[in-house]
Amino acid sequence: MNPTLPDRIAFLGGYLPRLCGIATFTHDLCEAVAAAAPAATCYTGAVNDRLDAYHYPPRVRFELDEKDLDSYRRAADFLNFDNADVLCVQHEFGIYGGSAGSHLLALLKEVRMPVVTTLHTVLREPNAAQRKVMEELVRRSDRLVVMAHKGAEILRETYGVPDAKVDLIPHGIPDIPFIDSSFYKAQLGVEGRMVLLTFGLLGPGKGIEAVIEALPEIVKRHPNVVYLILGATHPHLVARDGESYRLGLERLAEARGVKEHVIFYNRFVSLEDLKEFIGATDIYLTPYLNEAQITSGTLAYVFGAGKAVVSTPYWHAQELLADGRGILVPFRNPQAIADGVCTYLDDPALLQRTREKAYQVGREMIWPAVSQRYLESFQRAGADRKAAPRKAFAGWTLASRPYDLPPVRLNHIVRMSDATGIFQHAMFNVPNFHEGYCTDDNARALILCIQLEELGGRPPEELLNRQATSYLAFLAAALNQETHRFRNFMSHGRQWLEEAGSEDSHARALWALGTCAGRSSNEGHRRLSVLLFERGLPVVVESFTSPRAWAFTLLGLHEFLGRFPGHPQILAACTLLTEKLVVLWQACATDEWPWFEPIASYDNARLCQALLLSGQRMPHPEALDIGLKSLRWLASLQKTQAGHFRPIGSNGFCERDGARADFDQQPVEAQAMVSACLEAFRATQDPAWSKEAKRAFEWFLGRNDLGQALYDSSSGGCSDGLHHDRVSENQGAESTLAFHLSLAEMNLAEHLIAHPLSFN
């Protein structure tokens, strides 16, 4: 074996029998490289998209759960211990957990071998989360593989990636012989007919409706045409909507009078079966709806087999079908599709010439040729690595390993909840029915569900969705439809105890609704949240005087703007409330007392956090400066000489020119400090802020005045406060949610930002 080739080659991606294009690609690439380098050990890590794992072949040496963050770290440990020489990652945003697939970064931060990443999607206009993930992916990869020139161009222009780091390798295809289609037509029972084919996992983005709409015109000119739609409906679509999409296509074919010319074959076919279907094809159709598709495996397969193609002009098709190697038609244009198909059917000589051109180019795309290109990329990755890879344990000091966070344990939150919502208080770890429910806590609980959904893993998605539904339903019931004010307190008998709650509780409801509208994956939840948010917002702008209500509302506004960035009403409210906090600061703050009011009372860090967000996103430089100054002062005020966090106590708070209360210390103060400090880190990238976040979080775990943990890992509950001589024995909703929200934010922060947090 060539000594410069790697001995142990690991691949990461989906893997057969999982039904998706990435799984097929990972399988085929691994097998092709193993055949090209028989002395090397080639194996795969498979990403699972369901809890009941697949029955994988021996090539799969380890598995990870798409939504389980810890499984990515375990996978990194496996690769390090196994001394893999190179890791080849198949990247698609949707196959990894976390926002924009950010969970993958947890693995890439810890592996110690060169990384070659194949980019199956390269976005020219990414959203903020996608850009951060891509930038970190670029930084953590030694080589990047793209399958089209357009991909290299976007990497260069959008992400600043030098061409020298990029390898252009076409999508691999099986080596299918160039023979007349009639041989396979007889086997499939379509002899004597002209076969049009579209294949792949079925879903709305494929544009198949346009082909069915074009069929009447095609059939009128060529009555012997049959359109074969090959492939199973995408499993995720089936799980959500059943087969309604496929049934809709069938009804459309019947309505257009072409049902005798359409065949649906609802199966994910094997490679051998696929070769027969491709062999029987005369014209392949890819009527995709989105230009920004950099790679199409199905197009590569059929083109490389020497078939004529009529396609919409998405990026991969533009390159592959250039110079007369196919026909491009406009998006969503049935007449153009009909004209393109008939151009070939009317001129058999043109059809044959096109086939020959495609087949000639396709010889560079067969897997033996592609695997050699990948081996060359692996060699370059090893040469580009300036320092030798570290041994598995060499860097495993506390300073370099991720900060170990407790596992998520929602037992107590579920125990505290029923179909109505979450109870306010507990007697020890038992819900106190007598005290009923409140909007404040149901708002907090809804935010937690959304954050945990983004983290993925455990608890199961079904549990989070069920709990979120209850908490959102509570908020919907809390809104008085006549006054548009949220009520706060409800009895155990489901009777509201007031006509309107406090300004703060109203604003917390808006904060939760803005978060749900901006970040939930549940469309029904998002739509209801938008409706409630827009109804409850005007009263805040018009009449509220509480600074914390302004701050809570601002937090919700910024969450809302994450999905609806140009909403004029929301932008105007954001500007107004930001100015209110700035004016409040200007009227009160001095060098000795850099604060918004003459007293620092409760949920203090939320005022800072709201201005930090406005300062970054509006942008508003003065708001950002005030947010940092006030938070820096608050952090110094709440830090002891011993170095632990000591929140301002609720038994008197802290007045200007007066003594501060050290007790009773409340969990919401630690939670607010965690959130604000993490936001300050995102704004400045100053690691001092991540240390402050850790300091506040460790207050829950026993790094406090009494050296006693408030979080009970056995129950999943959190004590209601720290007194001067003891920890509260009750585990109410506010305190328990404060801990779990802090834990979720610490987990999210480590993997959503572009660079890892420094907690040491």
Instruction: Say how many Å lie between the first and final Cα of the chain, rounded.
Output: 45
Domain residue spans in the chain? 8-172+368-384, 182-361, 411-752
pLDDT at 755: 38
Q: How confident is the model at residue 751 (pLDDT cuts 50, 70, 90)?
A: low
Higher pLDDT pick, 50 / 738: 738
Taking 3-state DSSP, the helix, strand and coil percentages for the chain, each rounded to the nearest 5, stand at 50, 15, 35
Taking the CB of residue 186, how many other CB atoms lie within 10 A of it? Answer: 12
Packed helices 687-701 and 733-752: angle between N→C axes, nearest 10 degrees: 150
Give the residue ranges of DSSP H helices in 194-265: 208-221, 235-241, 244-255
Q: Is the pTM of this model over 0.85?
A: no
The pLDDT assigned to 1 comes to: 39
Same CATH topology for 8-172+368-384 and 182-361: the answer is: yes
Q: How far, in Å, CA of 697 to CA of 701, rounded?
A: 7
Note the pLDDT tens digit of each residue in 555-587: 999 999 999 998 999 999 999 999 999 999 999
Classify 54 as helix, strand or coil. Answer: coil
Alpha-carbon span 71 to 455, nearest angstrom: 12
Q: Is the pLDDT of residue 57 over 90?
A: yes
| 664: preceding bond cis by omega (within 30 degrees) | yes
Band of the pLDDT at 400, cuts 50, 70, 90? Answer: low
Residue 52 clears pLDDT 90, i.e. is over it: no
Computed over every residue of the chain, the mean pLDDT equals 92
pLDDT band for 183, please (50, 70, 90 cuts). Answer: confident
Nearest-5° Cα angle at 133, 129 to 135: 115
pLDDT category at 2 given cuts 50, 70, 90 is very low
pLDDT at 415: 96
Give residue 482's pLDDT band: very low, low, confident or very high (50, 70, 90): very high
pLDDT interval class at 612 (50, 70, 90): very high
- Decide yes or no: CATH 1.50.10.10 for domain 411-752: yes
Does residue 760 have a pLDDT over 80? Answer: no
Q: Which class is 182-361 in CATH?
A: alpha beta
Judge whether residue 756 has pLDDT over 70.
no
pLDDT over threshold 80, residue 534: yes
Long-range contacts of 331-334 (CB under 8 A, 24+ apart): 331/207, 331/289, 331/291, 332/207, 332/210, 332/289, 333/210, 334/210, 334/211, 334/213, 334/214, 334/217
Judge contact between 652 and 600, C-beta under 8 A.
no
Q: What pLDDT, in 10s, does the model give residues 439-473?
A: 999 999 999 999 998 877 667 778 899 999 999 99
What is the strand order of the sheet 86-91 is part of? 60-65, 41-48, 8-13, 86-91, 115-119, 143-146, 166-168
- Average the pLDDT over each of 49-58, 423-432, 498-507, 668-677 and give the range with the smallest value: 49-58
Q: What are 383-397's pLDDT values in tens digits?
A: 876 444 444 455 555
Write the pLDDT tens digit of every residue in 11-31. Answer: 999 999 998 889 999 999 999
Give the pLDDT of residue 665: 97
Answer CATH for 8-172+368-384 from 3.40.50.2000, 3.60.21.10, 3.30.1360.70, 2.40.50.100: 3.40.50.2000
In angstroms, the CA 74 to CA 117 distance is 20
Confidence of residue 53 (pLDDT cuts 50, 70, 90): confident
What value does the mean pLDDT take over residues 81-102? Answer: 93
Listed range (229-238, 504-513, 602-611) with the worst mean pLDDT: 229-238
Contact between 69 and 751 under an 8 Å Cβ cutoff? The reply is yes
The answer to whether 296 touches 345, Cβ cutoff 8 Å, is no
